[in-house]
Amino acid sequence: MKFTVERDILTDAVSWTARSLSPRPPVPVLSGLLITAEDGLVSIASFDYETSAQLEIEADIETPGKILVSGRLLNDIVRSLPAAPVTVETEGSKVIVTCRNSRFDLATMPVEEYPALPELPESAGTVDGTAFAHAVAQVTVAASKDDTLPILTAVKLEIEGDRITFLATDRYRLALKELTWSPADPSISTSLLVKSRTLTEVAKSLAGGGDLELRLPKETSTSDLVGFSSGGRRTTSVLVDGEYPKIRALFPESSPIHAVVATGPLVEAVNRVKLVAERNTAVRMVFTDGQVALDAGTGNDASANESLDAALEGDEITVAFNPSYLGEGLNVIDAPYVRFSFTTAPKPALMTAQQEPDAPEQDDYRYLVMPVRLTH
C-alpha cells in the first residue's frame, strides 16, 4: 500500500477516527486504525465493539492495500508533521510515514485479526446538524453521569413522524426537547435509547455543518445499532437495551405559579451567590411581587444575597435548588428570559425559555428540577 495526501486532510481524518478509540481496548487490535486505500479513496476506521467511526478522504493512491496501525501513535505523529504532503507506505511488516525530511517507521498489526466493522444502518431521514447539536446539549445535561442506574446514562429518542423528542433524567432533574426533522418515511413511529456520551460525541464531531443523517435499523432487522453520518463521516453505536422509565408523567399538569426572569442576569447572580453555598447546600429563591431574592450560605459562615426583577403570576413562593442543577438548567435555556412554573414549593419546578417578558412560553424545551428540601 502506498498513498500521499495533504497533512491537514490526514490530520483531520486521523484525529476524528482516533477519538472513538477506546482508552482501554478490549483486545490489542482495537487500539489500531484500519486504513484501506483503493479506488482513489483512503478509508480510516476505528471500532471498540460498541462504537465504530469511519470516513473516506481522497488521496493519490499508488498501490492499494490495507493496514492496521496504532491509532494513538499515528495521531500524535501526523499532528506534529510540517504542513506538506504526507506519504504512507508499507514496507514488509512496517508502515513508513514520510513528510519532507521526517520519516517514521511504525509496526503494523495483523489485519486478519481485526473484527468486521458493523454495517451502517440505512438512512431514516435527515436533521439539521446545528439544531441537533443544540438539542443534544440541552438534553444530555440532565442525563445521569454515574452508572448507579445504567439506563439513565442513555437519552431516549422518541420519533413520531417529523418530530423527534429527546428525553433524559438523572432522577433529580429531567430534560425534554422536541425537534423537527425530515424523515424518509413520514409515518415513522419508533423510539430508541442512545448513550448520552455517544450523542455528545456525534454532536461535537459530526453535526458541525449541514445535514446529519440519522440511520436506524429496519423494523424487521435484529440489529441493535444506531448510525449517524454527515459528509463522508459515519459512526455507529450500540443502542442501550432496557425499559426506560416513564418520565413524561412527571411534568405537572398545571402550574398555578409562574415567574419570568431575565436569563443572563439570573445566571450571573446564581454564579455569584453559589460561591458561599458549600457542598450539599442550596441557593434559595424567594419570589415576591416584582422581584426574586436569591440567597445562599448560613449566618454562621459566609452568606450572600442578591435581588433581581421578576414578573410573578400567582402566590409568592420560596424554593431552594441545588446550585449546579439550577445553573446547568439556566445555561441551556438559551433565551433572553426564563420562565419558572411551580405548583407548590416541595414539588418539581419547571423551567422553560421565553423570548420576551410577556411573550407566550416556548415549550419545545422543558427542564424539570426537584427542589432541595431545607431542614433545620
Residues in contact with another protein by the rule CB under 8 A: 144, 146, 148, 150, 169-174, 245-247, 249-250, 279-282, 298, 320, 322, 325, 347-348, 368, 370, 372-376
Cβ nearer to another protein, comparing 204 with 248: 248
Q: How far is the CB of 372 from another protein (least distance, A)?
A: 4
How far CA 186 is from CA of 106, 159, 193, 252, 295, in Å, comes to 50, 10, 21, 31, 50
User: Measuring CA to CA, how many Å separate 10 from each of 85, 88, 209, 231, 320?
Assistant: 9, 10, 19, 16, 51
Q: How far apart are CA 259 and CA 313, in angstroms?
A: 6
Instruction: Tell the smallest beta-carbon distance from residue 301 to another protein (Å).
Output: 11
Q: Which is nearer to another protein, 125 or 348 (CB)?
A: 348
Question: Residue 269 in contact with residue 308, Cβ under 8 Å?
Answer: yes
Residue 247: CB minimum distance to another protein, A:
8
Q: Smallest gap, in angstroms, from Cβ of residue 168 to another protein?
A: 12
Nearer to another protein, 24 or 376 (CB): 376
Q: For residues 64 and 190, what is the distance between their CA atoms, to the nearest angstrom? A: 42
Other CB atoms within 10 Å distance of the CB of residue 275: 12
User: What are the grid coordinates assigned to 147, written together?
Assistant: 452508572
Backbone angles phi, psi at 204, to 5 degrees: -75, -40
β-bridge mates for residue 352, sequence order: 339, 366
Instruction: Kindly state the cell numbers that stand for 344.
Output: 407548590
CB of 298 to another protein, least distance (A): 8
Closest approach of another protein to the CB of residue 293, in Å? 17
